[in-house]
Amino acid sequence: MARRQNGAIGLGLIVATSAAAALAAPVAAETVRPSLNLYGMTGLIDMPTAQDQPDAQIGLSYSYFGETQRRNFSFQILPRVAGAIRYSTIENWGRRDEDGVYDPTYDLFDRSFDLQFTLAREGEFFRWMPAVGVGFRDFLGTGVYSSEYLVATKTIQDFTVTAGVGWGRLSGTNTVENPFCSISGSFCDRSNDFGEGGKVSFDTFFKGENVGFFGGVEWRTPIEKLTLKAEYSSDTYTREQQSPTSTFEPSSQFNFGAEYRITPGITFGGYYMYGTAVGFNLAISGNPLRPLVPPDFGAGPLPINARAADAPRGAGWARNTPARDQLAEALAEVLRAEGMQLEGFSAASDGRSVEVALTNLRFQSDPKAIGRTARVLAVGLPASVEVFEITAMQDGLRTSTIIVNRTDIEREVDRPNAGETSWENTEIVGATPSLPPGAWERDAYPEFVWSIVPAPFLTLLTPGDPIRIGLNLDATGTVNILPGLSTTATISQPLLNIPNDPGPSTSNLPPVRSDSPRYYADYDPKLPQLTVDYLFKLNENTYGRVSAGLLERMFGGVGAEVLWKPVDQSWGLGADINWVAQRDFDDPFGFDYYDYDVVTGFGSVYWDTGFYDLEAQVDAGRYLAGDWGGTVTVTRRFPNGWAVGGYFSLTDVTEEDFGEGSFDKGVFVEVPFRWTVPFETRANNEIGLQSVSRDGGAQLEISNELYPIVRNYDRNRLSRNWGSFWQ
């Protein structure tokens, strides 16, 4: 059950790709989206609004004013739920060290999480009703920005007016007594002790002696793409002014700004903040449901003509092995041109059905690959064949078998509702572990496959270096010895912005992750992976994997995994166990420096909820540092390959031993390249944003876990994208 760590991930590449694609994309007519504030959430300048973004909208933004920098990632999680993760730098914050010595020039590197819920949209219940939202700022962090708010927003022609009431940081000025104090005196007490941070601050919600009022207006000017804003802020930035070296001294609670929408995906804003500071905000946004560039469907699929009524339907070819194999070779050539690789072919002795096992090399949508295969079979097979059994393979594993009737295809191909009717007439079953004896199989083993790709990596919140994007060049070679049996090696050459070795961590636990910067340091070539892997199928519903070698950048050993996942079931069960030892950071084959080994493993439950593409995973077991506990991961996985998710792990490690953050947590994004380019490709990239790299709750980074391999081939996943079957 691999964890997305903050190494070897493609944030820089994705930002650059998205920005370039957004600049290149034609400007389409659209309803102008609400803008993002300096916190990365929908809002005015520094204050929130009650508006929400389009469902699934993703935003990346960077803002700066005074002595504050914020790097924000936001996501419209559900139509009425928005969230953000933030990495902030506040200069001259000041603090006392463990010996009580005060450093006024200390810069704070802080992370925080926000959530906002839309209670009502404009005009939802009656015509003049404003949008109403409730939000929780820094509800899962160190409490630096801790606040809650209730806000209302109304659009009147070209003006959008907002008014709200805030608790915590948003109750610094223009205040009245907290109305909840009349319910219980405990609501008047708001604790500012967040300990190591990272915990949900339930005991502070809507508490404090006072509440503050804020508001503002946004004007979409007659100048196309230009918006002007003005707001009154209830945040006095008191804590930022405590250090004697601080230069940020607000003299007004009013903020003013102008924003220009360069393209539908890029906005730049400039502001005059709190009477003394100049600020700016650059926001890049996109939506998984809308590709950045128009799709180019390329060559169309093969046309299908119904078999003639008097077409010869003899079955002799099926019993003639040379004739059958010659037919399979011809099909393999045509399928290869279509973007599929034929792995195996068998025919029933009566010639009425065939099974083809194939790997989709090209199409992001698997139903599209299945549909193209069905067309090739309908054109190229003898007239006696009535049933096509198409078995989808991935990484040498036979996943699901899709059974379609040839007559149905011939009848439905040109009908307007062909997508719906073809799904109703399609049967999906678990593939058998292997083809029948004597079947034709691709004669290509041993087979060598290689790639050389740029591999950006991101390091977050290291002392004195809050964000670092570096670049490695990764060369990977795989020898496929037999179907499912392979050996893989990856060599990583550091290229740009590579850190020096920071030295050992001061963790109270075995440094199974806190020493990870040492494994990326310096410009010597690295060997992140050298493994032998065997992936196999036990029966129609059960999969297995055995791996041995240098399993990941920090650990080597042996491990095994089993997965039970019926194709017609929305949930599955898995288990894995591994014995691993920690690798030396400066010797690719050494294990002496740490002299640490551990048995780690998990039982896992996977569930495709069917609700807004949400997928849940629960792991329970023993982690790399020897701690016991569980991890919950929730992912919104879109049919087009996008995925946005978050996770947290709770183990028997104490908050003090874990350190800053209290427990392991983070978010991740998977971006298909197909979303940013006009041609078909199955490649994707991944962003991992972890709050802080710690040792509690750490899991192995296995590159070929079973569930991600078979996930897209069950009935639920195939149905969501079945419309592409005819494309």
Report residues of the chain scoring pLDDT below 50. 3-30, 461, 463
Enumerate the CATH 2.40.160.40 domain ranges in the chain, comma separated. Answer: 31-286
Which residues, listed in sequence order, are joined to residue 459 by a DSSP beta bridge?
468
Instruction: Give the number of other Cβ atoms within 10 Å of residue 424's Cβ.
Output: 10
* Tokens coding 205: 């919600």
Nearest Cα residue to 533 out of 479, 471, 601, 602: 479
For position 27, what pLDDT does the model report?
Answer: 39
For position 462, what pLDDT does the model report?
Answer: 52
Instruction: Give the number of other Cβ atoms within 10 Å of residue 55's Cβ.
Output: 16
Cα→Cα distances 315→307, 324, 347, 381, Å: 16, 11, 10, 11
DSSP summary character for residue 187: G
CB 467 within 8 A of CB 88: no
Tens-digit pLDDT profile for residues 278-331: 999 999 998 888 765 555 555 667 888 888 888 888 899 999 999 999 999 999
Q: Can the peptide bond before residue 382 be classed as cis, meaning omega within 30 degrees of 0?
A: no
Enumerate the CATH 3.30.300 domain ranges in the chain, comma separated. Answer: 316-443
For position 640, what pLDDT does the model report?
Answer: 80
Tens-digit pLDDT profile for residues 677-724: 666 666 666 666 655 568 999 999 998 999 999 999 999 999 988 888
SS3 content of the chain, % helix, strand, coil (to 5): 15, 45, 40
For position 219, what pLDDT does the model report?
Answer: 97
CB 162 within 8 A of CB 50: yes
Contacts of 346 (CB under 8 A, 6+ apart): 354, 355, 435, 436, 438, 439, 440
**Which amino acid, one-letter code, is at 3?**
R
pTM of the model: 0.88
Tens-digit pLDDT profile for residues 653-672: 988 877 766 678 888 888 87
Q: What is the CATH number of domain 316-443?
A: 3.30.300
Backbone dihedral region for residue 396 (phi beyond 0: left; psi -120 to 50: alpha; all else: beta)? left
- Residue position matching structure tokens 């292997």: 434
Distance CA 410, CA 313 (A): 16
- Residue position matching structure tokens 């400066």: 586
* Tokens coding 402: 């899709």
* Tokens coding 695: 């040792």
Nearest Cα residue to 331 out of 403, 388, 386: 388
CB 395 within 8 A of CB 354: no
Domain 31-286 classified CATH 3.40.50.300?
no
Distance CA 451, CA 490 (A): 9
For position 642, what pLDDT does the model report?
Answer: 86
* Tokens coding 521: 């340091």
Distance CA 720, CA 639 (A): 6
